[in-house]
Structure 1
Amino acid sequence: MPHQPALSAPVLPARGTIADAVFAELRQAILELRLPPGTGISEAEIARRMGVSRQPVREAFIRLARTGYLKIQPQRRTEVVKISVREVLNARFIREALEVAVVREACEGERAALVEKLGANLQLQRAAQAADDRREFHQLDDMFHRLIAEGAGCGFAWTLIDEQKAQMDRMRFLSLAFGQPAVYDDHMAIYEAIRAGDPAAAEVAMRTHLGRLNQHLVRLKAEFEQFFDDAEQA
């Protein structure tokens, strides 16, 4: 994977504020572990490196703390939160409960538009995998699941999932160093079940897919012990 700078200058969105742009860049840097778990950061340092004032950085820090990515400690340095195994497993439980119901719903009724969108997404996933573009693959992975929820008329379910999976996302990104082929194959199985209108097969495929997290967790804790919360290692 090509070397990436730790941080980029924030790109102001068409709609939004500098704080929104700073939040988006810091969130991506944390998710991709360009700012690794346990890293200490400060408002002044980030403002200098990103070429902005401290106020939008302060606002972004507060939002990132609410997301679960930062621990703000008065009179002490702010830290990127280490990955919580407990929260990863909790998020997986919530995600599986919701997405199994969603994928079964997606198998009912008219599916042509959804199948077409998922097929196009899978082509892009294949290209990202071939290029080992983990950022793109991760984003397409999320889009794949969001498309299923929206196609099933359950977009609200993806909103709930997205709010709960901050800790899981960093682990997922780490696992893409070795896990892209299995993720793609799982997505293909889910796609084929939806195309066939087979809710039972779709449920099995989705459970298999989300169940891989437990296997990856064991491997990643062994390889990246420093990224995980020490209090949860026992």
Structure 2
Amino acid sequence: MLPETLEATIQPDAPVGAQLHAILRDLVLHNRMSPGTRLSESEIAARFSVSRQPVREAFIKLSEEGLLEIRPQRGTFVRRISQAAVMDARFVREAIEADIVKLLARKPDPGLITELRMQLDEQFEAARIDASRFIKLDELFHKTLADAAGKGRAWALIEDLKLQMDRVRYLSLLRFPMIKLTAQHEAIVDAIAAGDQQTAEQAARGHLREILSDLPAIFEEKPEFFETP
């Protein structure tokens, strides 16, 4: 069942299946549809005035991403969060991003440093008043690092892998240590600016291991959102 307050619409000048995928993906990532929620092809098709085929295509893609579970003869359901997928994504992300910051520290770009410090100012402001905006700024920060290092494709890979991590982040907004995370971002920027590859790598690895300390508490608070190990 879709949320009653859903305001998304389908635009006529873009592929319907891709739009439906983006809408449903956003709902799952932001936990606006709880794990176990049953989704109906006919309901969604009627809600957006489209045929059932693009809805089915969106379901299949979301299933491949680990966000939905298609059960033959039973229906399609929002999948619970896989702790194993969260940890695997964190592992891969740490390996890639540690190398990214080392590349940037090898030859610091003053223009990049200026841009990153401007982003840090926005992060510190959002950290005090707007958790959802902070997460978007956090995404922008890491994407900026990857793009600056010429590793945009690597970031695209990370984005696909970290979907379950994102669900955990939105699930834990109230306990999200935003000031601490921004300070960790600042340490990464300082190390890059100083041309200190080792410190930049250590700062990035420490930052991306933050979820290791938070995940057990989040699981204990909301076990219904997670798959049973």
The two structures share one fold, judged by TM-score above 0.5: yes
Give the corresponding residue for 1:139. Answer: 136
Mapped contact 2:108–2:195 kept (Cα < 8 A)? no
Give the corresponding residue for 1:7. Answer: 6
Task: Provide the C-alpha distance between the structure 1 equivalents of 2:180 and 2:10, rounded to a whole number of angstroms.
Answer: 33
What's the Cα RMSD here?
2.0
- Can you give the 5+ residue segments of structure 2 that lack an aligned partner in the other structure? none
- Is the deviation greater in 203-212 or in 174-183? 174-183
- Is the deviation greater in 98-107 or in 124-133? 124-133
- Is the deviation greater in 180-189 or in 99-108? 180-189
Alignment of 1:89-168 (within 5 A): 89-134=87-132, 136-168=133-165
Task: Provide the C-alpha distance between the structure 2 equivalents of 1:33 and 1:194, rounded to a whole number of angstroms.
Answer: 35
- Is the deviation greater in 107-116 or in 119-128? 119-128
Task: Provide the C-alpha distance between the structure 2 equivalents of 1:11 and 1:193, rounded to a whole number of angstroms.
Answer: 45
Mapped contact 1:10–1:18 kept (Cα < 8 A)? no
Aligned residues: 226
Give the corresponding residue for 2:29. Answer: 31
**Post-superposition offset of 1:106:** 1.1
Q: 1:175 aligns with which of 156, 172, 176?
A: 172
SS in 1 for 2:8: coil
Q: Render the CA deviation track for 1:172-225: whole Å, top value 9, x for unaligned.
A: 222332222222221121122122221111112111111111111111101110
Give the corresponding residue for 1:67. Answer: 65
- Can you give the 5+ residue segments of structure 1 that lack an aligned partner in the other structure? none
Task: Provide the C-alpha distance between the structure 1 equivalents of 2:143 and 2:66, rounded to a whole number of angstroms.
Answer: 22
- Is the deviation greater in 87-96 or in 149-158? 149-158
**Post-superposition offset of 1:128:** 2.6
Mapped contact 1:6–1:34 kept (Cα < 8 A)? no
Task: Provide the C-alpha distance between the structure 2 equivalents of 1:199 and 1:6, rounded to a whole number of angstroms.
Answer: 48
Pair 1:165–1:84, CA change in 2 (3 A) = same
Letter in 2 for 1:160: L
Letter in 1 for 2:7: S
Mapped contact 1:106–1:149 kept (Cα < 8 A)? no
Identity %: 42
SS in 2 for 1:72: strand
Runs of 4+ displaced beyond 6 Å: none
User: Is it true that 1:213 corresponds to 2:208 in the alignment?
Assistant: no
**Post-superposition offset of 1:5:** 5.5
TM-score w.r.t. the length of structure 1 is 0.88
Give the corresponding residue for 2:194. Answer: 196
Letter in 2 for 1:10: T
